Amino acid sequence: MAELVLEVQGLRVHRDGVAVVDDVSFRLAAESDTALVGPNGAGKSTLVAALLGLLPRQAGVVHLLGQPLGPQGQWPRAIRSQVAYLPQTLAVRGRFPLTVRDFVGFGFDPAGPGLPWRGGRRRRQAVDRALERTESLALAQRLISELSGGQWKRVQLAFCVVRPRRLLVLDEAQAGLDAPASEQFQQLLLELRRQEGWTVLQVSHDLDMVRRSCDQVLCLNRQLRCSGSPDHALSPQRLAELYGPGFVPYHHHHQPTPR
């Protein structure tokens, strides 16, 4: 049996007294790529935030690499460092005059002392290697506020790959990208996932990408409505049940992506 990286049992999260995530349970096996899909307002981002301890939960148990999430939403440092999270938007981009090299340096040891540009040779080498692997080395001295959408997404992947991780959580990571940039990002993510052995949980509205790239799909609308392979979870019948009978998926024009 494959190692379990993440195990969720009976998760319930309230907003303004209403359960927006209600009794959700699932497991992520090591090196799997799982998509979390559902209509707007289904609780996808809330679920992700609760898994990471960024929102309080009213009930449920979350285990990451066999360790339980604490009652106040805290992980031990050694466990926390195994996770990388890419939110849909990152407020730091427009607020601080960070260069790409500085930003990626924060991913090297976010819990450690000192600032990224004060690190030693090992940190600098790790940052350069991460930028090379994400085709971003030429951007090293650019301010992150100056990057295009596609460049910024690659730099965020460099942040993730600058040190070993076990779990990568993406919340609409490809939002705002045109079709070519989205395809480039997905190809790079796939390559890095295979090289690094990442387990991936990604919130996505791109059902074409989910069909082509993911191993498992979780269909969420407050509760977990179904789960399984893309062929099973994204059948016309189940999509109608999840999104409503009038749902018509938007189709991107992608090149085939091997799993």
Q: Are 46 and 55 in contact (CB under 8 A)?
A: yes
Total residues found in the chain within this entry: 259
Beta strand 199-203 with 33-37 is parallel
Provide the whole-model pTM: 0.87
Sketch out the chain's domains with CATH numbers: 1-82+166-177+192-259 (3.40.50.300), 92-163 (no CATH)
* DSSP labels, 52-88: TTSS--SEEEEEETTEEPPTTS---HHHHTTEEEE-S
Count of CA atoms in the C-beta half-sphere (13 A) of 209: 25
Q: Are 61 and 10 in contact (CB under 8 A)?
A: yes
pLDDT digits (tens, 9 = 90+) for 27-84: 999 999 999 999 999 999 999 999 998 899 999 999 999 999 887 778 888 888 899 9
| Crossing angle of helices 149-161 and 121-133, rounded to 10° | 130
pLDDT digits (tens, 9 = 90+) for 96-155: 788 999 999 988 875 444 454 455 888 899 999 999 999 999 999 999 989 988 898 899
- With a CB cutoff of 8 Å and minimum separation 6, the contacts of 243 are 38, 39
pLDDT digits (tens, 9 = 90+) for 224-238: 999 999 999 999 999
Q: Which secondary-structure segment (H or E) carries 35?
A: strand 33-37
Residue type at position 180:
P
Positive or negative, the CA dihedral 53, 62, 34, 218 is negative
Q: What distance in Å separates the CA atoms of residue 201 and residue 41, rounded to the nearest whole number? A: 18
pLDDT confidence bin for 256, thresholds 50/70/90: very low
